[in-house]
């Protein structure tokens, strides 16, 4: 798995979310640098778990779509005397 990198804009959004969480839920102020450090830690230590879950979800969706396509082919087949 390649390293997931965020743009500066995305990092700013994520850091703001961390800061807001600390303020609202923990009633603590966290500095910009500390929030960025925490975001990096979470990404490095837990990011693969979230990534893998996303891959599993995408795989399930793809399998369901492939099955639906197979069903659609079966529905448009014309009857013949030949066995399949």
H helix runs in the chain, sequence order: 8-26, 32-76
pLDDT tens column, 11-46:
999 999 999 999 999 999 999 999 999 999 999 999
CA–CA distances in Å: residue 80 to residues 70, 76, 84: 19, 12, 9
Put simply, whether the predicted model's pTM sits higher than 0.75 gets the answer no
Give me the pLDDT at residue 1, please: 61
How far apart (Å, rounded) are the C-alpha atoms in residues 6 and 64? 30
With the CA atoms of 29, 31, 37 and 40 taken in that order, what torsion angle do they form, in degrees rounded to the nearest 10?
70
Give me the pLDDT at residue 82, please: 81
CA–CA distances in Å: residue 41 to residues 22, 33, 36, 55, 81: 16, 12, 9, 21, 64
pLDDT tens column, 45-66:
999 999 999 999 999 999 999 9
Residue 5 pLDDT level (bands cut at 50, 70, 90): confident
């Amino acid at each position: 798995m390649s390293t997931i990198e965020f743009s500066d804009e995305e990092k700013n959004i994520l850091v703001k979310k961390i800061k807001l969480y600390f303020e609202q839920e923990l009633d603590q102020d966290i500095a910009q640098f500390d929030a960025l450090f925490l975001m990096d830690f979470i990404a490095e230590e837990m990011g693969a778990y979230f990534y893998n879950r996303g891959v599993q979800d995408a795989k399930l969706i793809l399998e369901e779509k492939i099955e639906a396509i197979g069903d659609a082919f079966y529905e448009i087949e014309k009857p013949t005397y030949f066995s399949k």
